[in-house]
Amino acid sequence: MLLSVAAFAHAYHASIMEVKVNGKTQQLEVALKVFTDDLEKALSVGQPRAITLGQASPVEVQPLIAAYLRRTVVFSGKPGEDIPLKYLGMEKENDAHWLFFTVKLPRPMQGVRLQQRLMLDLFPDQMNIVNVEANGKKQSALFRDGNEAQVLSW
């Protein structure tokens, strides 16, 4: 019984990404909230042992998170022009973690294309919600299996 309770710690799979467009620095400031157990499962794929964020050292975990984000969250300008992200760190909040990173825009832009595949390969019901704040306006987008890429304009 205890195993089944732990296996169903939450009934849905979702992430929330908050993107703020900073016109002064020409960068996107991003905070991404994910359930801890889902993140651990994603980071454990291909590793010799399961990753547990509360027990693993930051030296071990930080590069894994940065690499996972670079594979699953891709911003681009023109086709073929991927814009690299810079992973800054994470913060625990109850049963979730906030992941922080920035994306330096190569020039003044009125939007980007976002391919958001975070955990879509692990959970068929995964929903990735993206909220963008720019120029005093807010917009939201929903990324799911079959709808992994969208243009975000501001």
Residue 12: the pLDDT is: 84
Which backbone phi and psi does 45 adopt, to 5 degrees?
Answer: -60, 125
The answer to whether position 5 is within a domain reads: no
> Residue 7: inside a domain, yes or no?
no
At 7 the pLDDT is: 46
Look at the chain and report how many structural domains it folds into: 1
Question: What percent of the chain lies above the pLDDT cut of 70?
Answer: 94
Do residues 150 and 143 make contact, with C-beta atoms less than 8 angstroms apart?
Answer: yes
CA distance 2 to 5: 5
Evaluate whether residue 1 is within a structural domain.
no
Tokens 């980007």 — which residue? Answer: 112
Q: Is residue 1 predicted with pLDDT exceeding 50?
A: no
Inter-residue contact 143 to 130 (CB < 8 Å):
yes
DSSP letter for each residue of 47-62: SSS---TTTS-HHHHH
Domain range spanning residue 27?
Answer: 12-153
Burial class (CB in 10 A: 0-12, 13-18, 19+), 43: buried
What are the pLDDT digits (tens) for 41-61? 999 999 999 999 999 998 999
Asked if the structure places residue 3 within a domain, the reply is no
* Within a domain: 127: yes
133-150-63 Cα angle (round to 5): 75
Tell me: the pLDDT tens digits for 65-120?
999 999 999 999 988 899 999 999 999 999 999 999 999 999 999 999 999 999 99
